[in-house]
Structure 1
Amino acid sequence: MSAVVTHQVHPTKVLFSQVITESLAHIQWLEKTDVSTYVIVDQTPFHPVSHIWPDHPADKGCLLLKDEQYDVLDCLTGAFDVENNKLYVGADIPVKRGEAGWHFVVVHELALDTALDINNEVKLTVDKSYQTALSRGHSAGHLASFALNKILEQDYWRKDASRKDALNNRDFHSYAQTFSLVSENKSTDNYRLGKTLKKRGLNVADMLNDLDDIQNKINDVLENWVATKSPVVMRREGDLLTDSRFWCCDLGNGENIIMPCGGSHVQSLLEYKRITVELTVKSEQDLEMITTAD
């Protein structure tokens, strides 16, 4: 790889949590790999895929310099080693956020033959329809997980649990989740129904026997929640990629959800006609929940 830099690289200011899809920015870093060009700017509306839990895909869009348009092929999380003037991307990042001497940045991957220079002012434009579809899928997935916990809380635990969700229900979703993927207007979650979960007190056999009824009850809860037309607020503790962000939705009747989340999201449940889930047993110990947003 080769890199060109003429001044200090600062942490990236991110704009996606404010639902900003276009911005002007200055290029801080250019790096040529064998197949592409990495570009870091001072601020960006692009949501990068997380290197830790890559369930929310990167945004799509383009970078414009005067009359030249360059497609953003991917958008990744990076960590910049200030002392050694070196960029690490994705799975190669060797530190946790907050490490002294490191700046976390958004890395825009462009084609190899990109003609850009340090300090160029460029315009970044996110594919708004694609980002909106991902946001709808992600927020719907959050609601579905809380609805699942709510229904299981009523009849399927024989022990109390130390881990509760934001609605004070035993957190099956957190205990059992092994995989999640946000896609356009959809969210997929896989759960492991193993011995550990049974020891924690979940009546797995009863749950599986009643799966159709549980699915119907979850969908009833989701119908009622969507009908509240509640706003969704992303509370930010700062503008940097590593600053904490919280997904907040007050559903009324004492059901106020505040949870950490770094993805992009809807601004209101008015953006849904309905949200439904489908539960499928994939194997004796594996359950899949697909959430669809209409």
Structure 2
Amino acid sequence: MSEVLTHQVLPTKVLFTQEITQSLTQVQWVEQTDTGSYVVTENTPFHPVSHIWPDHPADKGFLVLAGTKYAVIDCLTGAFDIENNKLHVGADIPVKRGEAGWHFVVVHELALDAVINLSDDVELIVDANYQGALSRGHSAGHLASFALNKVLEQAYWRKDASRKDALNNRDFHSYAQELSLVSENQSTDTYRLGKTLKKRGLNVAEMLTDLAEIEARVNDVLATWLATKAPVVMKCEGDALTDSRFWCCDLGIGESITMPCGGSHVQSLAEYNAIKIVLTLKSEQDLEMITTAS
């Protein structure tokens, strides 16, 4: 690390939950690393990649200062140690959110030659098209997971389960998910069909035999839900990065979903023409679900 400019650093006010893609703000921390410059501002419309569950990529865009446009190379989660006046970024964050004496912030990474100073007034501009494509992929992934749970609930469990989803179906998605990745207009989930899942009561052999039928039925459920054109609402308990946020979609017909989620999302199911999944058995115990939005 090279030069660090000190200044009081407050928690970043995040704006992406309000569908804001441009903001004027003030720089409250600048730090040059060996490869780039970290810039923390008072507010930001950028969604950073999570250091805990990095399934949703960082937004792209620009920081503009006095007419000079700097590309935001990456957007990361940071935690600022108030007592020691030190910024920790990404995997180097040593504390959980809410820890006394720490403020969580959004860190915009710029090129090393970016000339940014403390208290500079800057404009942050998110690539709205890219953010929108990620939002469609993320919301589609949520819907697909609930649709998959709903279909499996109807015929593939032999035991009740303590873990139910927001629609009161046994939560296969939560039990089995190992990896997830949001991309443009797409979401990829990897599930592990191991012994633990079988002990919990899932009839894995029957499920795999019927995989093509399950896929078709999930797509039918998704088509039914999209036809509602239901609104999607992000309910936030505050505007700090660490404040709880909830993805809410009332599908009508007695089906309403509220779940915690920190990503960016669509505002309505009317934004989709279609959402479809493909289920692929990658190995004896690994199932992949790719959800594609159009």
TM-score after normalising by structure 2: 0.99
Q: Is the 8 A contact 1:60 1:73 kept in 2?
A: yes
Aligned runs of 1:48-67 on 2, under 5 Å?
48-67=48-67
Deviation for aligned residue 1:67: 1.2
1:148-195 per-position Cα deviation (integer Å, ceiling 9, x unaligned):
000000000000000000000000000000000000000000000000
Give SS of 2:213's match.
helix
Q: Is the 8 A contact 1:27 1:41 kept in 2?
A: yes
Paired residue type of 2:293: A
Aligned runs of 1:81-120 on 2, under 5 Å?
81-120=81-120
Q: Is the 8 A contact 2:76 2:106 kept in 1?
A: yes
2:184 aligned partner: 184
Deviation for aligned residue 1:3: 4.3
1:274 aligned partner: 274
Deviation for aligned residue 1:2: 3.0
Aligned runs of 1:3-152 on 2, under 5 Å?
3-152=3-152
Paired residue type of 1:237: E
Paired residue type of 2:10: H
1:198-227 per-position Cα deviation (integer Å, ceiling 9, x unaligned):
000000000000000000000000000000
Moved more, 4-13 or 118-127: 4-13
In the alignment of these two chains, the number of paired residues is 294
Q: Is the 8 A contact 2:44 2:124 kept in 1?
A: yes
Task: List alignment gaps of at least 5 residues for structure 1.
Answer: none
| Distance in structure 2 (CA, Å) of the matches to 1:237 and 1:19 | 16
Q: Is the 8 A contact 2:2 2:34 kept in 1?
A: no
| Distance in structure 1 (CA, Å) of the matches to 2:77 and 2:110 | 14
Q: Is the 8 A contact 1:4 1:118 kept in 2?
A: no
TM-score after normalising by structure 1: 0.99
| Distance in structure 2 (CA, Å) of the matches to 1:210 and 1:114 | 56
1:53-108 per-position Cα deviation (integer Å, ceiling 9, x unaligned):
00000000000001100000000000000000001000000000000000000000
Deviation for aligned residue 1:7: 2.7
Give SS of 1:223's match.
helix
1:216-269 per-position Cα deviation (integer Å, ceiling 9, x unaligned):
000000000000000000000000000000000000011000000000000000
Per the alignment, do residues 3 and 258 of structure 1 end up closer, same or farther by CA in structure 2, a change over 3 Å counting? farther
Identity among equivalent pairs (%): 75
1:225 aligned partner: 225
| Distance in structure 1 (CA, Å) of the matches to 2:236 and 2:286 | 35
Give SS of 1:104's match.
strand
* Aligned Cα root-mean-square deviation (Å): 0.6
Aligned runs of 1:135-214 on 2, under 5 Å?
135-214=135-214
